[in-house]
């Protein structure tokens, strides 16, 4: 099938990035959220990020104008019913995603492919709660979407070949690379990345090093562009904890036990950059380690 219209559910950091790259690739995009403020902020951010690309001469001013013209924000979930592909990019909570699919499905066309940007939740289980498990799959972008080149494509047990091939064509048109992952907890990237971040938090928790020394060690000793604690703040500590819980519950292995310090930071509401405090304090001119 030919995909020309893409719907995006959720206007947060993932949703606005997906809308950005889809519109730039020539797709008509409908983006929805429950908050008008979130939609306004998303459109402002997309415009700013496109302008940055114009400044860097990676796209033209005409490309930017055309992309912005292809994005239609809406508060009405039913408006996504005319789309050929819908990508859900809401909060990483299964109950939230299930509620969205339940409200959306009555408005979809029979051929519409339904996907989720989940970073860890079972695709098969999410698909089973819809009317189209064969046309349902995981479409996992990396953050920040306009910069990161990888997209994980995850088939559930019922996903058919035509659905996978159609999503693969979308990834290629976006100018990104697809990695095919099996439907196991956290897939490929987060199955490897999150335990490393969790171990960095344990290293902090046990007093082996402080925030600065841990991040500096991994940047200079392992050539990582960003230290694991800095990266955790960027991702969101609530998201890191949610993924570790999915790994721990889904694989029943104690090596995936979330660090108590990670849980404590989340309980305090110190979720990283988005709340201006996490393993670093971002309220001043430069980030300051909190431990």
77-126 pLDDT per residue, tens: 999 999 999 999 998 889 999 999 999 999 999 999 999 999 999 999 99
Answering whether pTM is above 0.85, one says yes
143-152 pLDDT per residue, tens: 999 999 999 9
Residue 119: active-site member:
yes
Quick check: 21 pLDDT over 80? yes
Residue 198: active-site member:
no
CATH of 190-289, one of 3.40.50.2300, 3.30.1450.10, 1.10.260.30, 1.10.1040.10: 1.10.1040.10
As annotated, the binding site for NAD(+) includes: 10-15, 33, 92, 97, 119, 143, 274
Query: Domains of the chain: which residue ranges?
Result: 5-182, 190-289
111-120 pLDDT per residue, tens: 999 999 999 9
- pLDDT for position 92: 87
- pLDDT for position 1: 77
Which of these is catalytic: 122, 190, 198, 230? 190
Residue 190: active-site member:
yes
Q: Give me the architecture of the 5-182 domain, per CATH.
A: 3-Layer(aba) Sandwich (3.40)
Distance CA 237, CA 70 (A): 33
124-159 pLDDT per residue, tens: 999 999 999 999 999 999 999 999 999 999 999 999
């Amino acid at each position: 099938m030919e995909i020309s219209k893409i719907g995006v559910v959720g206007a947060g950091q993932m949703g606005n990035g997906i809308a950005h790259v889809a519109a730039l690739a020539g797709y008509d995009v409908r983006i929805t959220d429950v908050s008008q403020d979130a939609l306004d902020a998303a459109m402002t951010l997309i415009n700013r990020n496109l302008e940055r690309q114009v400044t860097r001469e990676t796209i033209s001013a005409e490309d930017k104008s055309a992309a912005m013209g292809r994005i239609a924000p809406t508060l009405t979930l039913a408006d996504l019913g005319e789309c050929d592909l819908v990508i859900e990019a809401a909060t990483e909570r299964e109950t939230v995603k299930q509620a969205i699919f339940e409200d959306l499905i009555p408005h979809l066309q029979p051929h519409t492919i339904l996907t989720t940007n989940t970073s860890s939740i079972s695709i098969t289980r999410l698909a089973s709660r819809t009317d189209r498990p064969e046309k349902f799959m995981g479409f996992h972008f990396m953050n920040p979407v306009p910069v990161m080149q990888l997209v994980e494509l995850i088939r559930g047990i019922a996903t058919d070949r035509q659905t996978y091939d159609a999503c693969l064509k979308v990834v290629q048109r976006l100018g990104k690379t697809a990695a095919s992952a099996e439907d196991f907890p956290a897939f490929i990237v987060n199955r490897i990345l999150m335990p490393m971040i969790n171990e960095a938090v344990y290293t902090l928790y046990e007093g082996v090093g402080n925030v600065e020394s841990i991040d500096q060690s991994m940047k200079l000793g392992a050539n990582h562009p960003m230290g694991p604690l800095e990266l955790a703040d960027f991702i969101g500590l609530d998201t890191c904890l949610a993924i570790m819980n999915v790994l721990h519950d889904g694989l029943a292995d104690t090596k995936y036990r979330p660090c108590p310090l990670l849980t404590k930071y989340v309980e305090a509401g110190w979720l990283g950059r988005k709340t201006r405090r996490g393993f670093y304090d971002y309220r001043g001119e430069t980030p300051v380690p909190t431990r």
